[in-house]
Amino acid sequence: MGSNVQPEHYIAMALRALEQHYGPLRRSTAYRNAAVGFDGDDFLNLVIAFDTSEDVQSVSATLARIEQQCGRERSGIRFAPRTMDCDLLMYGSRVFNDPDFRLPRAEILQHAFILRPLAELAGNVVHPVEKRSLADLWRDSALQDHAMQPVDLRW
């Protein structure tokens, strides 16, 4: 999840909503990094994990609802400021290759602000397409040069 519009406020709001819906959450360190794809305020990003018996479509719908509750406006502009961005990155070891829905998300391997906290949180998990642990993917990644500052968020 990430935000660059009042990020501490909206991340706290989204975490509360997720915890109310799914129960205990596991979360990575939050990282501050520059906006990617547009000039804008820095983002705060972190990765969360939770256990659920819901199907993947229900989880996606819940994440979209939480984004909306946080004031997310889907203007059609892909790279723009966001109150909340909740992306489902992985769903266990399942692979989905539908034209409109792909998991694991390709962005995992493209952005340090996703791979680093994901590897921190679930380093022993094997990426179901790459067949390597998330920790190994991060360790061997050229993304490590991306400037990211850990942020101590106390909730």
In tens, the pLDDT along 26-42 reads 999 999 998 887 778 99
Q: Is 27 a catalytic residue?
A: no
In-domain check, residue 40:
yes
Structural domain tally of the chain?
Answer: 1
* Residues facing 97 on adjacent strands: 102
Ramachandran quadrant class, 92 (left: phi over 0; alpha: psi -120 to 50; beta: rest): left
Length of the chain: 155
Structure confidence at residue 154 (pLDDT): 74
Question: In the prediction, which pLDDT does 100 show?
Answer: 83
**Containing structural domain, residue 104:** 2-150
Which residue is catalytic, options 82, 100, 102, 116? 82
What value does the mean pLDDT take over residues 73-83?
A: 70
Q: Which of 65, 87, 105, 136 is catalytic?
A: 87
In a domain, 155, yes or no: no
Token pair, residue 42, equals 């820095």
Active-site residue flag, 85? yes
* 32 catalytically annotated: no
pLDDT score, position 144: 86
Residues of the chain with pLDDT > 70, as a percent, come to 95
Greater model confidence, 48 or 80: 48
Decide if 33 is inside a domain: yes
The three-state secondary structure class of 96 is: strand
Question: Does residue 74 sit within a domain?
Answer: yes
Asked if residue 56 is part of any domain, the answer here is yes
| 92 is a domain residue | yes
Identify the CATH number of the domain in which residue 55 sits.
3.30.70.560
CA 14, CA 89: separation in Å to the nearest integer? 16
87 is known as an active-site residue? yes
pTM: 0.92
For residue 80, pLDDT over 70 is answered with no
Selected catalytic residue, list 65, 85, 105, 136? 85
Give the list of residues 6+ apart from residue 57 with CB closer than 8 angstroms, or none: none
- Looking at residue 3, its pLDDT comes to 96
* 110 pLDDT higher than 70: yes
94 located within any domain: yes
pLDDT digits (tens, 9 = 90+) for 8-21: 999 999 999 999 99
Between the alpha carbon of residue 150 and those of residues 31, 37, 106, 117, the distances in Å are 4, 21, 24, 10
Residue 19 lies in a domain: yes
